[in-house]
Structure 1
Amino acid sequence: MRIDKYLWCIRIFKTRSLATTACKKGQVKMNDKSIKPSKDIFGDELILVRKNQINYQIKVLDLPESRVGAKIVDLYRKDVTPKEAFEKTELLKFAKDYYRQKGAGRPTKKDRRDIDNYQEDTTEEI
């Protein structure tokens, strides 16, 4: 079975064209090498998929005939992604969380003064 079709069948990607695009961009790897969407896969292989800033590690258990339901996906793959990969995304959420709400626009004059005062205070301490 083709790798793009397999990733679509086990519901890693919503459409097969998204799986194909991910393979072409180098987001899908096998044995630390980028693979083409037409690469045939077999059982007991480890696939690395980069999706949403997480490197998923998927072990192929069996090949489905066609797209399978979400409840029986675990018969065809085993997710061996380390927990550290998911913890990194939690840290990214905190790093992107600013005091200004999204869509609030440019900083106000008061915000600019606060930034300048903060920068002056840090340079004086040095």
Structure 2
Amino acid sequence: MRLDKYLKVSRLIKRRTVAKEACDKGIISINDKVAKSSTVVSVGDIIKIRFGERVTTVKVVEIKEHVLKNDAKEMYEVIA
């Protein structure tokens, strides 16, 4: 699954266009490499998202195409 779609489906970022813009600005990295919005996300990948001074680090646990709002948090595990 594409990174921008994963961020939207998992609800780490609310809109896919916002996720794409964040990737284009270099705010998001996968496994310590700056990622493009088209980067393929796999189970076990570590995603880091920088929101200003705060860095959110999550591990991809599961990949699904469609998820209910309550089940979205099961797609990742917060590390830091």
TM-score (structure 1 length as normaliser): 0.59
Structure 2: 5+ residue runs without aligned partners?
none
Pairwise CA RMSD of aligned residues?
A: 1.3
| d(CA) in 1 for partners of 2:52, 2:10 | 17
Q: Deviations over 1:30-85 (max 9, x none)?
A: 1221111000111011010112431100100010212531x21222100111xxxx
Q: Deviations over 1:70-124 (max 9, x none)?
A: x21222100111xxxxxxxxxxxxxxxxxxxxxxxxxxxxxxxxxxxxxxxxxxx
Q: Percent identity?
A: 30
Q: Which has the higher strand share?
A: 2
| d(CA) in 1 for partners of 2:16, 2:2 | 11
Higher RCO, Cα 8 Å, sep 6+: 2
State whether residues 8 and 67 of structure 1, in contact with CA within 8 Å, keep that contact through their aligned partners in structure 2: no
| d(CA) in 2 for partners of 1:52, 1:9 | 22
TM-score (structure 2 length as normaliser): 0.90
Structure 1 segments of 4+ aligned residues over 3 angstroms from their partners = none
